[in-house]
Structure 1
Amino acid sequence: MRVSKACDRCRTQKIKCSGTHPCNTCTKHKKECTYSTNFTTGGNTTTAGVSSAKEQMLFPQYKKQKLLVEPFGLPVVNKTNEKDYISHLENRVQYLENLLSNDTARTFKDITSEEPENAELEKILISPSSKWRFSRRHQNLLIIQLCKSMYNNLSEESQQLVTIPRTQYFGWNMSGCNYLTSEELPKLPEFEFLNTEQYIDFFFEEINPLFAILHETVFREQVVAYDKLLKEQLTSSKNSDGDYKTNQTRLFSAKLYLVYALAIRFQEMQKPKGPSLEMLKIEEKLFKYAHKVVAILGFEWESFELIQSWLLITLYLRTTHRQTSCFHALGQAITMTKYMGIGSDNPKLATSTPYERLKAKRIFWCVYSFDRLFGLQTGRYCGLRDEDISREFPTYDFAEETKRDDWLTLPAFALIHLARISNFVHTSVNDHPTLIKYQQINKELVIIHDWFNSIGFRNDLIFNKGADLEVNSEDADKPVEKPISSLIKAQVKLHYYDLVMCIHGKVLFNFIGRRIVSNGLKLEMVLDASRGIIEVLDKVNKAGYLYTPWYLVLLLLFNVGVNAVTLVNSGVFVDQCRTLLKDTIKLLQVLKRASVRNENGKLVIRERFKMVRECLWALKMANKILSLRLQEDIKALNTIGTDHGSSEVNRQMFTQLGVSDEQTTKPKDEFNELFEKQLHRSDAPIDSTPRPVLAHGDDSITPSSSASLEYFAPGGDHSNPGNANPNGEDPVADVDNLLGNLQWFDQWLDFKYDF
């Protein structure tokens, strides 16, 4: 009864509705309030998808494909699934309505009101603080505006006697006897390595493009200014403790050291002989310094730079440490993002600079990508709730999205779209979505897969010479982007395959006795993803980069191995899965053999990647259990009996074909040779009836087939004195004559027609 009284918007978003017109919720958010009499709850949609109208505008090249059958079995109208098709159409209509309801201010006219318009209201109620802090407690602004107003009416002499109160939250609490003292920032760590520039270059070529955490152009300018400040500090006589001029650059030094730590980890671990243990110790020292600085400052303040720092920490911990620590760091970034309001239409945007608005946009989408894609890997969904987001998802037009923006990279842009599709998983009420929801997800996967192929992210192009993509903008003033690392492209495709496995991997439970019924789950997509993962990682291995410690390499290799054992155990796609399992073990063995040696070639550490041994043990144990099961099955079946005896019982003898029980050895092509033998027997009459000619062209039936069929033509003589019964009785004559009526049509088995 409550649902039937709710308006369309509350119904779609599943929130409480007052039932009035307009309802309280729509009035509060200034949205159009409509009531529909024809509402069905058949499909729950989110704004994460792309509407059909948008898809046709963005992908005109796919129009012809859309006229055909959908790739993953969208409903076809027939008597059995007519309800599914109607439900699908209703779902799409509701989805389009939802898109419109998100922007009713531009789509529909506002309800006329007697309240006077106040265009300056937003600016009046925005805090004058230069910090990007989002608060709607406007009482805090009243004292400042009041004092400013009175101050402006004072004479210059009186103005000299007063001071305007500073911007702060007056009366926050009643602490005063003992304020919590701020923790001191640690001193800069002492370290020595030759060329710091190479690590910065490596970071921006091989790490940063995947998520675009940092804006390379601005960060490099900041590095130059920071190095200049350090040189001035060394030559300054005023600085006795070495921390006079750099006490305001601690947060930047933390970001810089996180860049160094990530670059050292990736660069050192991918070396064939293994990393330098001395450099890994420096890396740990740099990370601990940076983490402590960020934790201290993040305990007291909030800023864009702190969010970026937490993201760098998250990436480092995802590569090197535990799940809990990684998600603690990501949680800090998400919390700061939500409470700074950079995912919504923050009124602070009205007084911000264009670069501040760009920074808020880029950092938000980076946090969103981390949350959605890392959430898939641990099964922890929605750190950022959809209610916290009002930004519109970008289209697939990368040139349009980066027209005046050199921050966003194409791989990071691709991950935003993968995160958008992942949102279907994050926002699902349970782990068993409806068929229509699966159809929406599968359609999005097809679109983004085709888009990957169109922008040069095909598997066969990765690591090919000259295959690195250069993105040309239509804007002539914008410089051409530098080529994208093939290893970064590989990580994008691995993220795509991980998404496919997360969505469709549940179907494998059907093969271990745990029944999951859904027509939306596709085993073929799991197999395609498994083959794609092996194909990409095989190319990475051949290029010599398999040791690069990207987090999805070992995880997906293990998943592919488990998938293969599962399907071999069930007897499904056995040949393909045996190959997948073999290739998986081969790549895991490559990782297992990776050791650490010193400059003299002496073995220092036998296993560079310790978790590989765990994965190999689990897969080989599963394979052994499978082998033992098969051996027991073979033993049991042999006990039941396999002595089938003579094959005579399986042989049928036809006198009209000349087959008798005396013939024990059959020629390779027994029937054709038998027919030829029959035709050339001296006592067998040959029919002189002309052979049939095909209706189109000059092609006629081949000699062997026509010869074999002519013998049974209706005009032919079926008598065979050599095989006749001595008593003049043919026991199978009636059967043979009847069979000839059917075999007469065999003359046209080779009929060729240009269909």
Structure 2
Amino acid sequence: MAGNGSRVTKRSLNACTRCRRQKIKCSGTQPCDGCNKRKLTCIFDDRDQKILVTRGYIDELHQKIASLQQTGERIDPVPLSPDYAEDRSPDLKDDSPQASRSSHHDPEGSQIHQELEDPASVLTNPLSTGPPAFMSADNGRTFYLGTSSSWSFTRRVLSLTHEHIYQEALPTGALIFDGATYDLGWDGLRKSHSSESPAVPTYDHAMYLINVVKFRCGQLYHLFDENEFMTNLHEFYSEPKPHTTTGLWYVHFLLILAFGKGFVKHKVQGNRPPGADYFVKALEMLPSVIVLHEEPIESTEVLCCVALYLQALDCRSSAHNYIGQAMRMAMAEGMHTQMPIEYLGENMVQRCRKIWWTVYILDREMTSLMGLPQTLNDEQINTLLPEFPDSIQRTSAIGMHIRLSRIIAEINGSVYAIDGRINRNFLLRTKSALATIASLADELRRAFPLHMERDISGVSRISAYLHLLYHQCIVLATRPLLFCFLKIRFESPENCVEVLNTSRTVRNLIQMSMDSSQQIICILHSLQTEGLLESFLSFDLESIFVSTVVLLIGPAIDMRWSYPIWLEKAYAIFEEIIESGNLIAKFRRSELHLLDELLSCFPQEHPRCLSTPVSFPNNVLTSQVPLTNSFPPSSQAGQALDHDILSDPGVGVMDGDCSFTNRLTAAQIMAVADSIESIDTEWMSNAMIEHSIW
């Protein structure tokens, strides 16, 4: 296996039973290094030792067997054991003495093999195996750290780094936890409807807020049916003096106003979120589930609004619960099926399709952000996409959004599967996930281009969002490798780069994570320039948080993965979101600064120095730097490990400039995915064993 560093030593000819069974390198010592680290009994079975004999010796044995058979002496054939049949030398035949001797049944040996195959001793993804991870806040509440959650990933990295440097657990006093950023000023109890209600805006102001919500959310999510909602709105304002009503529409109306305030109000008073008065009143008036089922269509829309608003406030658990209620209510109405138009009518069926796919997308994404298993099987869904006669592009956008959400679910269920192997299975699952991602690359670029030429058109918000989600899928699929090698860096700082250089495949996978993180920052910077950066909903904040964590960990593993200019851009985006009144961004940035400081404490060959956030020229995105220096032509996609699929990590994909005309193509991503073959199995196993990554 070619590499930039020293080659992995050959496997010992004398291997213990466990190493032979798992087909990993054995030191040959008694006990071997792998068993010693795992504190397992190390057994060497001489019967499984491979030997080399001459062809003449085998011919003589055949003659003796034939002679014995002629004399009538019975010879019982003994079947080969599966282990020996798999490991035997090709120079030995099945009827050789060595084969017969190694095939006798050994009850004690079988018990040993069964013990060695205990799932607890199998190499696993450190983010999704072993005892579940928890972290307690200062108030005593304990939070589960989900496997695929970006929030949980950062906490794990912070804990690992702090414990390595200070030899003690990470203090949680300075960290923010679920639902602790904002204060709604509400005890959660439902009061009588006669309690004071917030002042309703004028008709013109209400129309302005509703149109803002349509612009910010309308292309991504269906939150209300415009025809029915606006009819009720006109009726509401037709009264001489609009007043509080008890209907479900009024609750819906208050939620939309809460979103509108969140989008337009950038200054907050204390830690009370914008639109809180409307939101709290809506929850106080929200009927019980029993009553909601009497109006299931609008009730599902209302539950989606509640979930999305809570997600914006970093109340991830509550948001996940509300979207779960919406999912079950939608399924109870059969929205996941091909609802008959001739029976229900065109308008209702189209509305239900819009509702269903909004619920589906939010459920997939919120479940991933929580790091929890997906609960709905896609095979149970057969409804069609909604139709937008005046906008075919919108139908395509929903379809692409659904496909990306499914990729997220696939990654969560495979790469982050409980007790998923970190060696062969983990890499092959990563390969499968990347292949699925690659299948969308060219279509996404063609159907939803990101035009950077300012004299042609501005940046499309929906295109930007889909590309952000796409690159987050790549980061999500490759991020466990960052955690693994950060542990290796802490345990063997002098050998980390050498170990990493022995597998170009793994290095290329981490490089992909770095490149996608840079692309995320580049897209967000373009939105920032156009004034389209989203500061209330959490999805842009999640994107910048995910990418910055990756770029902070990279140089801790290998200094050639140091991209200070991209970190500068990331922090500038954080500043923009913070100045727009988002308190969550302030806490997220403080966590990143803490991680940056902790990683900087670890000895580096060239310490990183970050200056204060800076502004960048408006034409920073117009420079076209092709990716050909980093990726081979598509004709080389079939080549695996005989060359570097990605460039030297010291040369960034764009080195500070953004280029969208030459992004990762399907062939380029598949080139990396196809390089994941069985040749990497032993390397990954050795690296994980030698550095106790379980």
Does structure 1 conserve the Cα–Cα contact (< 8 Å) formed by 2:307 and 2:320? yes
Alpha-carbon shift at residue 265 of structure 1 (Å) = 0.3
Q: 2:259 aligns with which of 255, 259, 262?
A: 262
Q: Which residue of 2 aligns with 1:193?
A: 201
**Structure-2 separation of matches of 1:283 and 1:289:** 10
**Structure-1 separation of matches of 2:380 and 2:528:** 41
Q: Which residue of 2 aligns with 1:566?
A: 553
What SS does the corresponding residue of 2:452 show, helix, strand or coil? helix
Which protein, 1 or 2, shows the higher relative CO under an 8 Å CA cutoff with sep ≥ 6?
2
Does structure 1 conserve the Cα–Cα contact (< 8 Å) formed by 2:213 and 2:259? yes
- Aligned ranges for residues 180-579 of structure 1 at < 5 Å? 189-194=197-202, 195-216=205-226, 218-219=227-228, 222-232=229-239, 250-269=247-266, 274=267, 277=269, 283-296=275-288, 299-302=291-294, 303-345=296-338, 351-386=343-378, 388-391=380-383, 402=388, 410-428=396-414, 429-430=417-418, 431=420, 437-458=429-450, 460=452, 464=454, 466-467=456-457, 486-513=460-487, 522-546=509-533, 548-571=535-558, 573-575=560-562, 577-579=563-565
The total of aligned residue pairs comes to: 396
Q: Percent of counterpart pairs with the same letter? A: 17
Change in CA separation of 1:254 and 1:513 when aligned onto 2, cut-off 3 Å: same
What SS does the corresponding residue of 2:288 show, helix, strand or coil? helix
**Structure-1 separation of matches of 2:367 and 2:199:** 35
Alpha-carbon shift at residue 278 of structure 1 (Å) = 12
Change in CA separation of 1:501 and 1:317 when aligned onto 2, cut-off 3 Å: same
Q: What's the CA shift string for 1:544-589, capped at 9, x where partnerless?
A: 34462231233332332221222111225334x3332232233334
Alpha-carbon shift at residue 526 of structure 1 (Å) = 0.8
**Structure-1 separation of matches of 2:433 and 2:300:** 31
**Structure-1 separation of matches of 2:573 and 2:393:** 35
TM-score by length of 1: 0.47
**Structure-1 separation of matches of 2:273 and 2:487:** 49
**Structure-2 separation of matches of 1:345 and 1:525:** 39
Amino acid at match of 2:216: E
What SS does the corresponding residue of 1:536 show, helix, strand or coil? helix
Q: What's the CA shift string for 1:338-369, capped at 9, x where partnerless?
A: 322321356x7663222222222222111111
Amino acid at match of 1:227: H
Q: What's the CA shift string for 1:662-699, capped at 9, x where partnerless?
A: xxxxxxxxxxxxxxxxxxxxxxxxxxxxxxxxxxxxxx
Q: Which residue of 1 aligns with 2:3?
A: none
Change in CA separation of 1:403 and 1:294 when aligned onto 2, cut-off 3 Å: same
Change in CA separation of 1:402 and 1:435 when aligned onto 2, cut-off 3 Å: farther
**Structure-2 separation of matches of 1:466 and 1:254:** 43
Change in CA separation of 1:466 and 1:525 when aligned onto 2, cut-off 3 Å: same
**Structure-1 separation of matches of 2:218 and 2:257:** 12
**Structure-2 separation of matches of 1:278 and 1:617:** 18
What SS does the corresponding residue of 1:513 show, helix, strand or coil? helix
Q: Which residue of 2 aligns with 1:752?
A: none
Amino acid at match of 1:261: A
Q: Specify every segment of 5 or more residues in structure 2 that has no aligned partner in the other structure, as ranges.
A: 1-189, 489-498, 608-694
Alpha-carbon shift at residue 380 of structure 1 (Å) = 1.8
Q: What's the CA shift string for 1:492-539, capped at 9, x where partnerless?
A: 322222222212212212321369999688223212211111101212
Alpha-carbon shift at residue 311 of structure 1 (Å) = 0.6
RMSD of the alignment, in Å? 3.8
**Structure-2 separation of matches of 1:383 and 1:554:** 26
**Structure-2 separation of matches of 1:439 and 1:186:** 59
Change in CA separation of 1:404 and 1:426 when aligned onto 2, cut-off 3 Å: farther
Does structure 2 conserve the Cα–Cα contact (< 8 Å) formed by 1:459 and 1:536? no
Change in CA separation of 1:281 and 1:453 when aligned onto 2, cut-off 3 Å: closer
Q: What's the CA shift string for 1:12-57, capped at 9, x where partnerless?
A: xxxxxxxxxxxxxxxxxxxxxxxxxxxxxxxxxxxxxxxxxxxxxx
What SS does the corresponding residue of 1:191 show, helix, strand or coil? coil
**Structure-2 separation of matches of 1:590 and 1:450:** 31
Amino acid at match of 1:611: I
Alpha-carbon shift at residue 491 of structure 1 (Å) = 2.6
Change in CA separation of 1:228 and 1:487 when aligned onto 2, cut-off 3 Å: same
Change in CA separation of 1:522 and 1:305 when aligned onto 2, cut-off 3 Å: same
Amino acid at match of 2:528: N
**Structure-2 separation of matches of 1:323 and 1:518:** 38
- Aligned ranges for residues 35-46 of structure 1 at < 5 Å? none
Does structure 2 conserve the Cα–Cα contact (< 8 Å) formed by 1:375 and 1:381? yes
Q: Which residue of 2 aligns with 1:581?
A: 567
**Structure-2 separation of matches of 1:413 and 1:438:** 24
TM-score by length of 2: 0.50
Alpha-carbon shift at residue 407 of structure 1 (Å) = 11
Larger Cα-atom Rg:
1
Alpha-carbon shift at residue 299 of structure 1 (Å) = 4.8
Q: Specify every segment of 5 or more residues in structure 1 that has no aligned partner in the other structure, as ranges.
A: 1-181, 236-241, 469-484, 596-607, 635-755
Does structure 2 conserve the Cα–Cα contact (< 8 Å) formed by 1:211 and 1:411? no
Alpha-carbon shift at residue 437 of structure 1 (Å) = 4.4
**Structure-2 separation of matches of 1:328 and 1:555:** 20
Does structure 1 conserve the Cα–Cα contact (< 8 Å) formed by 2:292 and 2:299? no
Does structure 2 conserve the Cα–Cα contact (< 8 Å) formed by 1:334 and 1:384? no
Q: What's the CA shift string for 1:444-478, capped at 9, x where partnerless?
A: 322322222212432636xx46536xxxxxxxxxx
Does structure 2 conserve the Cα–Cα contact (< 8 Å) formed by 1:310 and 1:330? yes
Alpha-carbon shift at residue 185 of structure 1 (Å) = 5.5
Alpha-carbon shift at residue 316 of structure 1 (Å) = 0.9
Q: Which moved more, 1:348-357 or 1:368-377?
A: 348-357
Change in CA separation of 1:282 and 1:550 when aligned onto 2, cut-off 3 Å: closer
